[in-house]
Amino acid sequence: MRQACVSLAADVQTAGAQPPIPDTAMENLYKEALASLAAGAANCKAGISSTQQGDEDLITKENSALLGRAMSELSAGTNELYRATAKIKLLKKS
């Protein structure tokens, strides 16, 4: 799961580096979504740690408070991205 959060953080950074959306309102929604997703990915990464113990054992620890916060932020980011995408689809139809 931690690796998925690392991957998401990289994807969000890549998305944020793209040229802005020409419509200011949609660009703002998109930036809000990316900010929430970035925060969620960061808290997810911070909430899971692992250390090698000996040759065969990997000890994994989870911080439930950080993971709970990450889930809320990821959910918010997903909802914001959905709203932005829905508005784009409406514009394409008109």
Region for residue 32 given its phi and psi (left: phi exceeds 0; alpha: psi -120 to 50; beta: otherwise): alpha
Residue span of the structural domain in which 83 resides: 2-93
In contact, 36 and 77? CB cutoff 8 Å: yes
Q: What is the pLDDT of residues 44-92, one digit of tens each?
A: 999 999 888 888 888 899 999 999 999 999 999 999 989 888 877 877 7
Q: Which residues contact 88 (CB under 8 A, 6 or more apart)?
A: 26
Query: What is the pTM (predicted TM-score) of this model?
Result: 0.84
Q: Which residues contact 86 (CB under 8 A, 6 or more apart)?
A: none
Number of domains the chain contains:
1
Q: What is the pLDDT of residue 25?
A: 84
